Amino acid sequence: MAFEIIMPKLGVDMQEGEIIEWKKQEGDVVNEGDILLEIMSDKTNMELEAEDSGVLAPAAEPTPKVEEVAAVAEPVVAAQTQAPVVHEGGKVRATPKARKLARELGIDLAQVPGTGAKGRVHADDVENFKGAQPKATPLARKIAADLGIDLASVSGTGFGGKITKEDILAISAPAQVKEAAAAPVVEAKPEKVLPEGVEVIPMSAMRKAISKGMTHSYLTAPTFTLNYDVDMTNLMALRKQVLDPIMNKTGMKVTFTDLIGLAVVRTLMKEEHRYLNASLIDDAQNIELHKFVNLGIAVGLDDGLIVPVVHGADKMSLSEFVVASKDVIKKAQAGKLKAAEMSGSTFSITNLGMFGTKSFNPIINQPNSAILGVSATIQTPVVVDGEVVVRPIMGLCLTIDHRIVDGMNGAKFMVDLKHLIENPMELLI
C-alpha cells in the first residue's frame, strides 16, 4: 500500500504553497517522523514530517515495500476510478504534476476522472484522458472547454485531422472571427519610464497576506481604543525576584511580555470579561464565547508580522507560560511554525515598548474581539499620597471591536488588568 504526500494548509486562508527544498530524494529510505521537505506559504515556512516509513517513490512507478512497511509516496493505482473532487471555490483535487500536464495539453481537470484517494487526479489520469479524446491543439482544447464545446462534435482541419483553434471558433462564432480578423491592430502602450531614484518591487506573499488581513479587519470592525497608564514598580520588582528561579527551572529568561501576557490571561478568565475573549461567527450573526484562552503574541520579522499562538494559556503557571511563549516565538522567527501554532487565538497582544512607542492603535487580529498594545515604560513624575514622585509608567492600548464589546465593558477589563499588573503577586497565587 502506498501513501500520498499532501501539502498541508498552514492556515485557513492558505491557497497555495511552494516547496523550497526536498530533504529526501527518490529511492531514499524514509522513517516515520523524518523531515521530507520544506514548504513556504504566505506567512511562514514549515517542515513536513513523514507520517509513515518506507521508500520515497514517484507517483508514476510502483512503490516497493521495506520490511513490510508502507512507502511514503503518491499511490499509483486506486481500487477504482473516481470522479474528480471539486472543492469549495471550484478547485479540483489534483497533484502538481497533473495540473502542469493538464495546462500543457489544454485539458480541463474538472473533466478528468481521478484514480487517487478521494478522487485526486494524477498525471496518468490526464494522459489516459488525453488518449481518449479527439486530437486537438492545446489552445483548441482550452477554448472548447471555456465555450462548453464537445470536441467529439468538431471536425478537425489540421494535420492528420487535428482540431485547431480556428475549427472551434468557426463553429462557435464565425461572425466574431471575421470581425476580429478585420479589427485594426492596437499598438502596445510604451513601457512606463520611472523617474530617477524610483524603484518598484513586487509585494512579498507575506506582505500581501498582511495587507489583506489588516484591510479586512480595519474596514469590517468598528473599533475604538482605550489608553491607560500603569505603574510598573511592583511588576519590575516581581520580575527581579523570579528571574533566577525561572531561569534555573526552564533555562529561559522571563520577560515583561510574559508577565503582562499572563496577567491578560488571568483577567480574561473572569466571567465578566468573557466578551473580550470572544469571536463573531456566521457572518457576524452569532458570538462564540471561549472558556479558555489561546493567546496570540505578535512577532515582528524583517519582512512582515506573524502572530504565533500559546494554546491553553489559561491552564499554565508562569514558568509554563514562559516556556510555551518562547517556543512559539522562536519558531516564528525561524519560519518553522506549524499551522496549528498560528491559528485559533482568542485574544492577542502586541508590544512596541522596546522601540520607545508611547501610544498606538493596534489593529485587531480577527476573529478576535480585541487586541492589547503594550507601549514603552517611561520614568514619569506622578502624584502619590499627595507627593510628586517618579515612577516607571507603562502605556497600555486596548483596541476593541464595538460590535461585540461596549466602552464600559472594555474599561472594566482594563481596570482589572491594571490592578493585576500593579499587584502582580496575585499572578502567583
Give the pLDDT mean for 237-256: 96
Q: Which among 30, 46, 76 is the end of a domain?
A: 76
Q: What is the pLDDT of residue 292?
A: 96
Q: How far apart are CA 322 and CA 374, in angstroms?
A: 18
**What residues make up the domain containing 152?**
141-175
Residue 376 CB contacts under 8 Å (≥ 6 apart), including other chains: 352, 353, 354, 355, 356, 357, 358, 394, 395
**Mean pLDDT across the stretch 323-333?**
94
Q: Is 122 a catalytic residue?
A: no
Do 167 and 217 lie in one domain? The reply is: no
Q: pLDDT grade, residue 122 (50/70/90)?
A: confident
In 3D space, the residue among 227, 264, 268, 142 whose CA is nearest the CA of residue 399 turns out to be 227
What pLDDT is attached to residue 346? 96
Contacts of 246-254 with C-beta under 8 Å, sequence gap 24+, read: 246/318, 246/319, 246/322, 249/319, 250/319, 250/322, 250/323, 252/322, 252/323, 252/326, 254/318, 254/322
Residues 250 and 318 in one domain: yes
Do 264 and 410 fall within a single domain?
yes
The label of the residue with cell 503582562 reads 260
- Which residue, of 28, 52, 76, is where some domain finishes? 76
Domain count, the chain: 3
Question: Do 237 and 347 reside in the same domain of the chain?
Answer: yes
Same domain assignment for residues 27 and 164 = no
Q: Contact 420/264 with Cβ under 8 angstroms?
A: no
Same domain for 316 and 223, yes or no, is yes
Instruction: Supply the pLDDT for residue 263.
Output: 97
User: What percentage of residues in the chain have a pLDDT greater than 70?
Assistant: 81
**Which CATH number goes with the domain that contains 6?**
2.40.50.100
Q: Is the pLDDT of residue 356 over 70?
A: yes
What's the pLDDT score for residue 83? 47
Q: What is the pLDDT of residues 4-14, one digit of tens each?
A: 677 765 554 55
Going by pLDDT thresholds of 50, 70 and 90, the confidence category of residue 44 is low
pLDDT at position 110? 79
What pLDDT does 182 receive? 59
Q: Is there a single domain that holds both residue 385 and residue 258? A: yes
Annotated catalytic residue, options 290, 311, 402, 419 = 402
Both 368 and 234 in a single domain?
yes
Same domain? 165 vs 269: no
Question: In the predicted model, what is the mean pLDDT of residues 259-278?
Answer: 97
Residue 89 has pLDDT above 60, yes or no: no
pLDDT, residue 85, reads 53
Residue 55 has pLDDT above 80, yes or no: yes
Kindly indicate the confidence band of residue 228, based on its pLDDT and cuts at 50, 70 and 90.
very high
Residue 334: is its pLDDT beyond 50?
Answer: yes
Q: CA torsion, points 20, 24, 25, 31, in degrees to nearest 10? A: -150
Q: How many CA atoms lie within 13 A of 20 on its CB side?
A: 13
pLDDT value of position 151: 77
pLDDT at site 260: 97
Rounded (10°) angle between helices 256-268 and 407-422? 130
| Residue 200 pLDDT | 86
- Residue 398: give its domain's CATH number: 3.30.559.10
Is position 194 within any domain? no
Given pLDDT bands bounded at 50, 70 and 90, which one contains residue 324? very high
CATH for 153: 4.10.320
Percent with pLDDT over 90 in the chain: 42
Q: End of a domain among 117, 151, 175?
A: 175
Q: How sure is the predictor about 318, in pLDDT bands with cuts at 50, 70 and 90?
A: very high
Q: Residue 130: inside a domain, yes or no?
A: no
pLDDT tops 50 at residue 208: yes
Model confidence at 64, pLDDT cuts 50, 70, 90, reads: very low
108 in any annotated domain:
no
Beta strands, E only, 180-314: 223-231, 278-281, 286-289, 295-297, 299-301, 304-306, 309-310
352 inside domain: yes
Mark residue 203 as left, alpha or beta (left: phi above 0; alpha: psi -120 to 50; beta: remaining).
Answer: beta
Based on the fold, state whether residues 217 and 275 are members of the same structural domain: yes
In a domain, residue 271? The reply is yes
Say whether pLDDT at 76 is over 70: no
**What's residue 41's pLDDT?**
63
Task: Kindly provide the b/e burial profile for residues 297-324, where b requires at least 16 CB atoms within 10 angstroms of the residue's own CB.
Answer: bbbeeeebbbbbbbbebbebebbbbbbb
Window from 119-123, 244-248, 283-287, 413-417 with minimum mean pLDDT: 119-123
pLDDT of residue 179: 56
Highest mean pLDDT among 57-71, 296-310, 406-420: 406-420
Q: pLDDT for 153-203, tens place per residue?
A: 888 888 777 888 888 888 765 545 455 555 566 666 777 788 888 888 888
Q: Choose the weakest-confidence range: 6-15, 131-140, 204-213, 222-231.
A: 6-15
| H-only helix segments in 49-122 | 96-105
Judged by average pLDDT, the poorest of 83-87, 140-144, 344-348, 389-393 is: 83-87
Residue 27 has pLDDT above 90, yes or no: no
69/152 same-domain check: no
The residue ranking higher by pLDDT, 156 or 352, is 352
Residues 282 and 410 placed together within one structural domain of the fold: yes
Q: What is the mean pLDDT of residues 413-421?
A: 98
Indicate the range of 58-62, 111-115, 183-187, 399-403 predicted with least confidence.
58-62
Q: According to DSSP H, which parts of 221-298 are helical?
A: 233-250, 256-268
